[in-house]
Amino acid sequence: FTTKMSSFRLAANLAFLYTDRPLLDRFAAAKASGFGGVELGFPYETPLEDLVMARENTGLEIVLFTMAPGNWNNGDRGLSAIPNRQREFRESVATAVRYATALKCKRFQLHLDPQHKSKCICNFSMLLYFSFHRLHSLAGVLPEGWDDAVKAAYEATYIENLRYAANLLQQNDITLMIEPISTFPCYFLRHGSQGVDIIRRVNHPNLKLQFDIFHAQSTDGNLTSFFNENKQYIDHVQVGQVPGRHEPDSEGEINFPFLFKHLNGAGYKQWIGCEYHPKGHTEEGLRWAAPYLTHGDHQA
């Protein structure tokens, strides 16, 4: 972990990192560590105005968060593939768009100074807004005892809902993301090849793949080959070691220095989200990231 990544930046996932403090305090912690951007999980229990204030106070870019998953306590893990719940899904899209538009501006940016590169002035109002790019839509889980007919119904619903959301988000300059996930039993979208197939069938330029290295290695492996073959669909990458889902420099299956070098050489220029469980305090586990962060309180 000594080679500087030149074409992409690290974002702290605030649902996984700095969890020893309240969500709003995690923004300042990420800033102090040298991150330029953050990912959120489900931010909807936090007042929107408080999120906007935390965002403005730190100048961090919110690069990704997830649409409401339905009733998590009742087993929901997303709504976008669930038949007969299209109305709930569309309501979740509307809520996510409301949060996203409050936390971003359009993609054009006016760089004010080197310390505030992500700030811009919009609509001549002299209010500061920030760029925002991606919303992740969880697919949902198949019911116990599902068969091919049930899976086909889920797939048809998924494609219908993704087309709706991709079009609506495009009007708001937000990219729709789908992510194959290995850790939810019976999750509808588990494999990268399945995600690419869905993207092709939806056939909308505003739908992209969220390439989580932990999930991809857990289900399929062949990380660099998959990236090479499908990089036109990939708009976001997340990292975590396998099998423990800890820091990239922890013991595990993945050679992250090689993988980072490969992504850089392949021209990947987007964010890399740090979505892993620190083995100890977040800051103590950031030694691997020191060459990639802009500044901060971590120690190399």
Catalytic positions, written as ranges: 179, 275
Q: DSSP characters for 90-127? A: HHHHHHHHHHHHHT-B-S------GGGTTEEE-TTS--
Give the position of tokens 């992740």.
136
Is residue 67 a contact partner of residue 91, using CB atoms and an 8 Å limit? no
How far are the Cα atoms of 165, 287, 288 from residue 76, in angstroms, in the given order? 19, 36, 35
Residue 236 and residue 241: Cα distance in Å, rounded? 17
Number of C-beta neighbours around residue 235 at 10 A: 21
Counting Cβ atoms within 10 Å, is residue 277 exposed (0-12), middle (13-18) or buried (19+)? middle
Dihedral angle sign, alpha carbons of residues 52, 54, 57, 62: negative
